Amino acid sequence: MTTQSSILQVENIATRFRTQDGLVHAVNGISFDLKKGELLGVVGESGSGKSVTMMSLLKLLPMPPAEIVSGTAKFEDQDLIQLDTNQLRKIRGGKIGFIFQDPMTSLNPVLTIGYQLAEPMREHLGLSHGEARKRSGELLDLVGIPMAESRLNDYPHQFSGGMRQRVMIAIALACDPKVLIADEPTTALDVTIQAQILDIIKRLRKELGMAIIWITHDLGVVAGMADRVAVMYGGFIVEEATVNELYANPKHPYTQALLKTLPNLEGEREDRLESIIGQPPDLHQKPLSCPFAPRCSKAFERCLNENPNFISRGKNHKVACWWNPDSGEKV
């Protein structure tokens, strides 16, 4: 999986918000490569900048207050950041699909499911009414909605939460996207329904072969789905590695601590959970030092004064930390 070509190359994206209380530094220079057909998991807690990063790529943020300060995002020889709204509209929902967290609020309650499914296909693929409707039925069938055809005239409120999320997936897949960005698609769902959705995504990935960026705060979901994982904290990617490597051999103190705070479902029951002291960072402060330093057990003077570079430590493994986890050396 190492030599595949990239489909999306993101470099040094930084986004901030102008608010009444001053600037909020939400994303502070994020770079990553998405390979063809790969599933990249982006993990982080609330406020770590994972959603803002992805929304910046397609300018889905209200601007102002948001502003993209720097960065490029190369997708099919175009820089997404430089495109204007009209050009972006051709890509959004077409070659790049988006699934949002909350299926309750991301569907329009006064339009039928059939209309909402057909809309992107008529817009992007130029399908006629009839063709679009036929394909809508097929799509609903693909995501496992029973009696798909007969449900096209139903409204969102007639579907349950899990069913609505399936509809969202169907809409995102309507135009055969090259890249699918899924922003916490199962967070609002119950575990048994989540299992259904994860199963569908796994199957569709095999059938359709698109690349997926999966944003989540749930380390368990990513473990089962992703090829590669990026861990975000305070608007930075602090660690990135293949999924097996990251869970077996985490190198950033934050990732290490985060994995230890999780209780086990099997095996020995832990006496006491390890916890990370302190609070998540205040994003009003300029990101001039390592964002995790105040909570980090390994932090030393340099961590408080200088932002660590994102460097390679081992094969397919990158870490942004002044402390070398292998030698214990403070660089």
Strand order from edge to edge, sheet including 22-35: 22-35, 6-19, 66-75, 78-79
CB of 95 to another protein, least distance (A): 29
Q: Please identify, using beta-carbon distances, which residue of 110 and 277 lies nearer to another protein.
A: 277
Q: Which of residues 203-222 bind another protein (CB under 8 A)?
A: 217-221
Pairing relationship of beta strands 39-43 and 211-216 according to DSSP bridges: parallel
Other beta carbons within 10 angstroms of residue 274's beta carbon come to: 12
Asked whether position 262 contacts another protein by CB under 8 A, the answer is yes
Q: Please identify, using beta-carbon distances, which residue of 10 and 222 lies nearer to another protein.
A: 222
User: What single-letter DSSP state applies at residue 264?
Assistant: P
**Cα gap 38→93, rounded to integer Å:** 19
Asked whether position 294 contacts another protein by CB under 8 A, the answer is no
3-state class (DSSP) for residue 320: strand
**Cα gap 234→291, rounded to integer Å:** 6
Binding range to another protein, per CB under 8 A, among 64-72, 107-115, 169-177, 195-203 = 195-203
User: What single-letter DSSP state applies at residue 179?
Assistant: E
Which one of 3, 5, 82, 275 is in contact with another protein (CB under 8 A)? 275
CB of 248 to another protein, least distance (A): 8
Contact criterion met (CB below 8 Å) for 182 and 101: no
Binding range to another protein, per CB under 8 A, among 4-12, 171-179, 205-213, 266-274 = 266-274
Q: Please identify, using beta-carbon distances, which residue of 75 and 159 lies nearer to another protein.
A: 159
Q: Please identify, using beta-carbon distances, which residue of 31 and 187 lies nearer to another protein.
A: 187
3-state class (DSSP) for residue 258: helix
Asked whether position 45 contacts another protein by CB under 8 A, the answer is yes
Location of structure tokens 């030393």: 300
Contact criterion met (CB below 8 Å) for 112 and 153: yes
Asked whether position 176 contacts another protein by CB under 8 A, the answer is no
Which one of 54, 163, 201, 319 is in contact with another protein (CB under 8 A)? 163
**Cα gap 233→230, rounded to integer Å:** 10
Binding range to another protein, per CB under 8 A, among 50-58, 98-106, 166-174, 191-199 = 191-199
Binding residues (CB under 8 A) for another protein: these are 45-46, 160, 162-163, 190-196, 198-199, 217-221, 223-224, 226, 243-244, 247-248, 257-259, 261-266, 269-270, 272-277, 279-280
